[in-house]
Amino acid sequence: MTRRVVAQGTFDIVHPGHVHYLSEAAGLGEELHVIVARRDNVTHKTGPVLDGRQRRDVVDALEAVTEAHLGHPEDIFVPIERIDPDVIVLGHDQHHDADAVRNALGSRNIDCEVTRASAREPDYGDELLSTGRIVDRILAERGADAGPAAGAGGAASEPDTR
């Protein structure tokens, strides 16, 4: 029987912390399925800039990932029910409480282990392992109005579909 693992997140700017998280999760089974959160479901922080399809496609291209899925627009547990994982791995700094996730899974009769990934320490002094810190660094070094990318075709007005 194939051991399926689920990881999930926003993955707006994929960075070494994400790669560590997904590699560690992949090591817990034969298949790693990653659920990429839809913009409307990201309520604990500023929503992603990139469209969900683009974020899913980038995650799907990572070597550790068997398949990346765009989350359900209304019910975050629908893809978990469909994948039927043996393990769900939470990111080390994700806001989800492991016990609350276990309880929610139990109420839906989803029987799987819930664990949390370890943190990845920077390999060098100024390595950035957080999307927020990467954005802050870009703004600090380039300014909000610098360069041709400022104000160019952001995904905020695009539908987060598929």
pLDDT at residue 110 in the model:
94
**Contact in structure between 118 and 90 (CB atoms under 8 Å):** no
Domains recognised in the chain with CATH numbers: 4-121 (3.40.50.620)
pLDDT at residue 15 in the model:
93
Angle at alpha carbon of residue 131, lines to 128 and 136, rounded to 5°: 75
Q: Annotated binding site, which residues? A: 10-11, 15-18, 93
**Contact in structure between 147 and 138 (CB atoms under 8 Å):** no
pLDDT at residue 151 in the model:
47
From first to last of its 162 residues, the chain has per-residue pLDDT tens of 899 999 999 899 999 999 999 999 999 999 999 999 887 777 676 777 788 899 999 999 999 999 999 999 989 899 999 999 999 999 998 888 999 999 999 999 999 999 999 999 889 888 988 888 898 999 999 887 766 654 444 444 445 554
Report pTM: 0.85
> How far is Cα 105 from Cα 100, in angstroms, rounded to an integer?
9
pLDDT at residue 43 in the model:
66
Q: Annotated binding site for ATP, which residues? A: 10-11, 15-18, 93
Instruction: Give me 83's structure tokens.
Output: 């994948």
57 HSE (CA, 13 A, CB side): 8
The Cβ of residue 149 has, within 10 Å, a number of other Cβ atoms equal to 10
